Chains A and B, each alone.
Chain A
Amino acid sequence: MNRWIPLTLVLVLSAVLTWMLLGWKTDTEDADPYKALQLAQPPRGGDFTLTSAVGPVSLADFRGKVVLIYFGYTWCPDICPLNLSYLRYALDGLTEKERKRVQVLFISVDPERDTPQRLSRYTAYFAPDILGLTGTPEEVARAAALYGAVYRRGEVENSAMGYAVDHSAYTYLVDTSGALRQSLDHATPPDRIIAAIRSQLTTGDKP
């Protein structure tokens, strides 16, 4: 008979603890000063699946490689070509062995005009191992949101371009396990891109 009291206590306390750990949601986010100031949350990155000229491609396909992700578009008049050139110089500065463990993804923020084939031709101007990706507007938006990238279409008067797309110009560095590690500024010099890639390749080699 004496056992029933502690047994009941154990069962009740187990249930309470389980609820506290799994189901209890205190609004501690209100205690987050960044949230109180309505500041943007740091991007966390994450997996996505988009379309290349050779079919669907997922970020998860490149586990074991360091991935550099850049959001841009082929009609981009200035900053995309500059950034892709710097990425190409960085790739050229790696050893052959290192380069095999690096993938550059160029994700179009202009899915309306950038077909997978057009993207493939465009990225090939810079380097054969830069992969152009596109998708439905929703798929592209979802991938951009994961990395904190924004883009917006703006009309350009008196231009054959028709419209331009304002967009974030970071290059996102993803490590060999698929985690977002760093956002490189626009026009980061190739030697600094190489150093950032190598720091992740070295980390990825550790057991």
Chain B
Amino acid sequence: MSITSRILWTLAGLLFLAVVVVAWLEVGPMLHPSATLVASLDDTCDLRKGYCEAAFPDGARVTFGITPRRIPVVEKLQLSVQTEGVDARRVEVDFSGVDMNMGFNRVTLARTGAGEFSGPAMLPVCVRARMTWEAKVLLHTDTGLMAAPFRFDTYLPGQEPSGAAKEAGLE
């Protein structure tokens, strides 16, 4: 075999290896997709009245609360999450408008104890009417992403429905 042939065979071998590596990198994520598990939405629980709980099909539970209870927009809020039956490496909360694009609003909470996370947030859109939001508590686990949805309404001060201000603990 001539030197030229050897070089060409070596080059062909290297190219073959490169093709295999690129194919593995491209196809790998498709073969092992990150699982997503979504808890069912409990629309009977009102975050303006207190903590709400969501259950995942695998039995894991997440409790979510926002203070101040009246959930004012463009004011500092405190979020708290407690998890049960799941080991979350990281917890985020994503706020979106129900039937309305409210932009990108996502915060990462800090771990404050075993299965407990909390942190500040703000609904950063000045909305001059009643608005329904969905907060998705996102639990990052070793097996994938788990999402627990919670819904709540926001109002401008003085525009809460009758009795809502009192129920929400307004002073």
Is B18 interfacial (CB-CB < 8 Å)? Answer: yes
Please indicate the chain B residues that have their CB under 8 angstroms from the CB of A124 in the complex: none
**Complex: how many Å from CA A78 to CA B26?**
50
Name which of A9-17, A111-119, A131-139 contacts chain B. A9-17
Q: From residue A81, how far is it (CB to closest CB) to chain B in Å?
A: 12
Q: Which of A140-181 contact B (CB under 8 A)?
A: 148-150, 152, 154, 156, 164, 166-170
In the complex, which of the residues A6, A148, A167 contacts B11, with contact meaning CB atoms closer than 8 Å? A6
In the complex the two chains form, is B26's CB within 8 Å of A28's CB?
yes
Q: Which residues of A contact B1 (CB under 8 A)?
A: 2
The reply to whether B12 and A169 form a contact with Cβ atoms under 8 Å apart is no
Of B31-39, B62-70, B83-91, B160-168, the one contacting chain A is: B31-39
Q: How far is the CA of A20 from the CA of B19 in the complex (A)?
A: 8
Q: How far is the CB of B150 from chain A (nearest CB, A)?
A: 14
Give min CB distance, A183 to chain B, whole Å.
8
B residues within 8 A CB of A37? 36, 38, 136, 138, 145, 147
Q: Is the interface of B mostly helix, strand, loop or mixed?
A: mixed
Among A39-47, A58-66, A98-106, A199-207, the one that faces the other chain is: A39-47
* A3 proximity list for chain B (CB < 8 A): 2, 4-5, 8
Known contacts: A2-B2, A3-B2, A37-B38. The answer to whether A17 contacts B29 by CB under 8 A is: no
CB-based contact B8/A26 at 8 Å: no
Output the nearest chain A residue to B11 by Cβ-Cβ distance.
Answer: A10
Interface size band for B: 35 or more
Complex contact B127–A186 (CB within 8 A): no
Q: Count the A residues whose beta carbon is within 8 Å of the partner chain — how many?
A: 46
How near does chain B come to A106, taking the closest CB pair, in angstroms? 15
Nearest Cβ in chain B — how far from A100, in angstroms?
30
Nearest chain A CB to B29's CB is how many angstroms away?
A: 4
Which residues of B, 105-140, contact A by the 8 Å Cβ criterion?
105-106, 120, 122, 124-129, 136, 138
Once bound together, how far apart are the Cα atoms of A92 and B171, in whole Å?
36
Min Cβ gap A26→B in Å is: 5
Q: Are the C-beta atoms of A79 and B96 separated by less than 8 Å? A: no
For the complex, is A54 an interface residue (Cβ under 8 Å from B)? no
User: A166-B127, A185-B122 are known contacts. Are A40 and B96 too (CB-CB below 8 A)?
Assistant: yes
Verify A31–B11 contact, CB threshold 8 A: no
| Chain A proximity of B72: nearest CB distance (Å) | 11
Task: Give residues in B with beta carbon < 8 Å to A.
Answer: 1-2, 4-5, 8-9, 11-12, 15-16, 18-19, 22-23, 26-27, 29-30, 33-36, 38, 74, 76, 94, 96, 100-106, 120, 122, 124-129, 136, 138, 144-145, 147
Q: 23 interchain pairs (CB within 8 A)?
A: A3-B5, A6-B12, A9-B8, A10-B11, A10-B15, A13-B16, A17-B15, A20-B22, A20-B23, A24-B26, A27-B30, A28-B26, A28-B29, A36-B36, A37-B138, A37-B145, A39-B94, A42-B106, A78-B126, A150-B101, A150-B102, A167-B126, A168-B103
Of all A-B residue pairs in the complex, the 5 with the closest CB atoms, nearest first, are A6-B8, A148-B104, A13-B15, A33-B145, A9-B12
Given contacts A3-B2, A3-B4, A41-B104, 15 further A-B contacts (CB under 8 A): A3-B5, A9-B16, A10-B11, A17-B18, A20-B19, A20-B23, A32-B34, A36-B36, A37-B138, A79-B126, A150-B102, A166-B127, A169-B125, A185-B120, A185-B122
